[in-house]
């Protein structure tokens, strides 16, 4: 089975850009607020993950230096 390479992906992307199809689509007003909520949720989750990561680093160094004093 042949792998999907970068050249194949670039050819597909260029063909989509060069030969676009007209699409008649309707986006209801609720979609904008849903996208906004998803973006905010991703940002808050990212900040939480970063906070937890730095807390683990802080605890590691606190334990490392507190044991040396004893």
From first to last of the 70 residues of the chain, give the pLDDT tens digit: 456 677 888 888 888 888 877 777 777 778 888 989 999 999 999 999 999 999 999 999 898 888 655 5
Q: Distance between CA atoms of 29 and 31, rounded to whole angstroms?
A: 5
Q: Locate the domains of the chain by residue range.
A: 31-70
CA distances 40 to 19, 37, 44, 48, Å, are 34, 5, 6, 12
pLDDT of 51 reads: 95
Q: What angle do CA 33, 34, 37 make, to 5 degrees?
A: 85
Q: Distance between CA atoms of 70 and 64, rounded to whole angstroms?
A: 11
Q: Which two tokens stand for residue 30?
A: 């609720």
Query: Tokens 């909520």, residue?
Result: 37
């Amino acid at each position: 089975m042949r792998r999907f390479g970068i050249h194949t992906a670039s050819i597909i992307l260029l063909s989509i850009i060069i030969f676009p199809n007209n699409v008649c689509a309707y986006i209801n007003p609720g979609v904008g607020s849903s996208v906004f909520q998803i973006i905010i949720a991703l940002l808050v989750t990212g900040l939480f993950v970063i906070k937890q990561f730095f807390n683990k680093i802080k605890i590691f160094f606190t334990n490392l230096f507190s044991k040396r004093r004893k």
